[in-house]
Amino acid sequence: MDTSPSLAQSVPILSSIAELAPARDVWLTDIWGVMHNGVHAFAAACDACTQFRRAGGTVLLLSNAPRPSEQIVIQLDRLGVPRAAWDAVLTSGDAARALVGAYTGRRVFHLGPDRDLPLYEGLGVTLSEAADADAVSCTGLFNDEIETPDDYAAVLAALAERKVPMICANPDLTVERGSEIVYCAGALAAEFIALGGSVSYAGKPYLPVYDVAFSMIETLRGTPVPRERILCIGDGIRTDIKGAAAAGLDSVFIASGIHVTEPLTSEHLSELFSAVERLPLAAMPALAW
């Protein structure tokens, strides 16, 4: 398949993913923007995953949420994503714990909301103020409803000047919450790099989280699954689509509000994927069976 950027306009727009399902054993499915919007579950997406599982498929929900997967399961239940729609959950928070754990016995500045504090449970790090920290663990903005990365210019500059390394537990730049677009940890990490800081990323599009996913898939299926039998589904071009390509996986793009704010057209796709090396197999306004 020729996936050169000049063919971006040829990415088909589907209303149903059913025609792609028989060729796959596993869906690696993003959560926020695909399964829910942070306020309520998307019924059609939940049904699609349920239908795929009923046909013998496995659904591994792969999220850049900066919290351990156990916390995300609680959120999925609260938002109404049924357990029948998925087999397991893997988050960038799970991957970040290994990076933060390297600082056991040392001081870590937690940059993010209190809801992300479960990330540090059992790791043996001491949470400290920024001025005393040996490392900064960024899970997001303290208050993403009213703040932007500009509010963090001073603290990020001071950390960069001291050459304090950052662990970014959520590479997403933004996410759609209801009808609003809010900033994520990835936006702060980008500002930190611009100031000369050093960042280690957990989650998509970086390969370590996919290696964990492949191991989980083998456990869930009882056998290794060839990459051509795995399909990634997500709404983030620089995370889901780019990450799938880096891992040697096909993908389907879901047009959430972080990239598309009006009805999806071929013109939109041509613009969105003009610089993408490996195009998605298809695009959808929303995941549906």
* pLDDT tens for each residue of 198-248: 999 999 999 989 999 999 999 999 999 999 999 999 999 989 999 999 999
Tell me the average pLDDT across 167-178.
88
pLDDT (0 to 100) of residue 178: 79
pTM: 0.84
Q: What is the CATH number of domain 5-93+205-284?
A: 3.40.50.1000
Check pLDDT > 80 for residue 160: yes
Check pLDDT > 80 for residue 261: no
CATH number of 96-201, picked from 3.40.50.1000, 3.90.1150.10, 3.30.300.30, 3.40.50.300: 3.40.50.1000
Note whether 139 and 116 are within 8 A (CB). Answer: yes
pLDDT (0 to 100) of residue 257: 62
Residue 92, burial from CB neighbour count under 10 angstroms (0-12, 13-18, 19+): buried
112, 125, 126, 253, 254 from 106: Cα distances, Å: 19, 6, 6, 41, 41
SS3 call for 69 = helix
Between 264 and 20, residue with greater pLDDT:
20
pLDDT band, very low/low/confident/very high, at 3 (cuts 50, 70, 90)? very low
96-201 shares the fold of 5-93+205-284: yes
Token digits for 138? 């960024």
pLDDT (0 to 100) of residue 259: 67
d(CA 277, CA 142): 35
pLDDT (0 to 100) of residue 175: 83
Check pLDDT > 90 for residue 275: no
d(CA 6, CA 276): 10
Nearest to 48 by CA among 254, 269, 209, 249: 254
Check pLDDT > 50 for residue 62: yes
The residues spanned by each domain of the chain are: 5-93+205-284, 96-201
Check pLDDT > 60 for residue 9: no
Q: What percent of the chain has a predicted confidence (pLDDT) above 90?
A: 82
d(CA 24, CA 8): 23
d(CA 191, CA 159): 12
